[in-house]
């Protein structure tokens, strides 16, 4: 850890903001904190149930990634930086509006991607 601090310190301007930012970066690095989009997880989890209701839909990795990407572009992200934050967002997702929005976005995405796959139709 001392080597890391010594390697970074000479290039740092010690204003109160930069010191706080530096401390934050070290904390993130040290604790391996990840910021995640909880809605993305929820979309991936809901995709199987949507695909099960549609027959003849390609389930290759490329199509699944396109479906999720399209759906996520229709939804507002909800980010968390801790497990507690993730749980709080998912608990708030019990609100039917969020679940319905995810299902609507996924259904639309399945229709668009299946009509325009990035590979040859089988």
pLDDT at 62: 93
Say if residue 55's pLDDT is above 90: no
| Class of residue 78 by CB neighbours under 10 A (exposed 0-12, middle 13-18, buried 19+) | buried
Please tell me whether residues 48 and 80 are part of one structural domain.
yes
Please tell me whether residues 24 and 45 are part of one structural domain.
no
Please tell me whether residues 51 and 14 are part of one structural domain.
no
Average pLDDT taken over every residue of the chain: 80
pLDDT at 1: 45
Would you tell me how many other CB atoms lie within 10 Å of the CB of residue 73? 9
- Give the chain's domain count: 2
Mean pLDDT to the nearest integer, 75-99: 82
DSSP 94: T
The residues pairing with 37 across neighbouring beta strands, listed in sequence order, are 79
pLDDT at 15: 53
Please tell me whether residues 25 and 67 are part of one structural domain.
no
CA proximity to 58, closest of 45, 67, 70: 67
Highest averaged pLDDT of the listed ranges 9-23, 89-103, 104-118: 104-118
pLDDT at 122: 57
Please tell me whether residues 63 and 83 are part of one structural domain.
yes
> Token pair 């996520």 is at which residue?
72
* Full domain range(s) for residue 10: 2-31
Q: Classify residue 122: in a domain, yes or no.
A: no
Say if residue 107's pLDDT is above 90: yes
Q: 27: pLDDT confidence band, cut at 50, 70 and 90? A: low
């Amino acid at each position: 850890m001392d080597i890391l601090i010594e390697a970074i310190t000479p290039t740092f301007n010690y204003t109160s903001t930069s010191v706080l930012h530096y401390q934050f970066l070290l904390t993130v690095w040290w604790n391996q904190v990840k910021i995640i989009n909880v809605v993305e997880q929820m979309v991936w989890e809901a995709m199987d149930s949507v695909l099960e209701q549609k027959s003849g839909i390609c389930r290759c990795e490329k199509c699944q990634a396109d479906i999720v990407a399209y759906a996520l572009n229709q939804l507002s992200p909800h980010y968390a930086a801790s497990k507690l934050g993730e749980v709080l967002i998912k608990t708030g997702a019990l609100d039917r509006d969020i679940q319905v929005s995810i299902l609507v976005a996924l259904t639309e995405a399945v229709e668009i991607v299946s009509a325009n796959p990035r590979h040859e139709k089988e």
